[in-house]
Amino acid sequence: MIGERKYFAISIKHTEYKWKFGKPCVLWGFKRTSDEEKRCFAGYTENPSRAELYAEDDFIKHGYGMDIIKPTPVEMTVDLCKKWRMYDTVLVDAEQYIGYCKMAYIPTE
């Protein structure tokens, strides 16, 4: 469903330096907004409980081009940064990213 806010936006540009599987990623949005508020496109965090949740089309609606944001979500994989480095940012299902954090003992609060 296009309008459902269920994705974290991972900044490949900010994450890839010295990143390896098992480390936290840099997430867009320093604060989480309610559904009625405008989405937060400012700042970054590694804390998934504070990071903004996005719908699949939020970045495009906000004016970001497909050269910046991959238009469809991707899987959280070992080669995430290497595979998607042609984009500044990719969307990953929030539940999948939280599962990754739990598996890697990355704090989610």
Give percent of the chain with pLDDT exceeding 70: 98
Q: For residue 1, is it within any domain?
A: no
The whole-chain average pLDDT of the chain stands at 92
Return phi, psi of residue 44, to 5°.
-135, 160
Q: Is residue 37 part of a domain?
A: yes
pLDDT surpassing 50 at residue 1 = no
DSSP state for residue 53 in the 8-state scheme: -
pTM for the whole structure: 0.92
Residue 2 lies in a domain: no
Asked if residue 108 belongs to a domain, the reply is no
Instruction: Give the pLDDT confidence of 7-44 residue by residue, as tens digits.
Output: 999 999 999 888 888 899 999 999 999 999 999 999 99
The band of 109, judged by pLDDT with boundaries at 50, 70 and 90, is: confident
Range of the domain at 78: 7-103
> What is residue 50's predicted lDDT score, i.e. its pLDDT?
96
Cβ burial 78-99 (10 Å sphere, 16+ → b, else e):
eebbeebeebbbbbbebebbbe
What is the mean pLDDT of the segment spanning 73-90?
Answer: 94
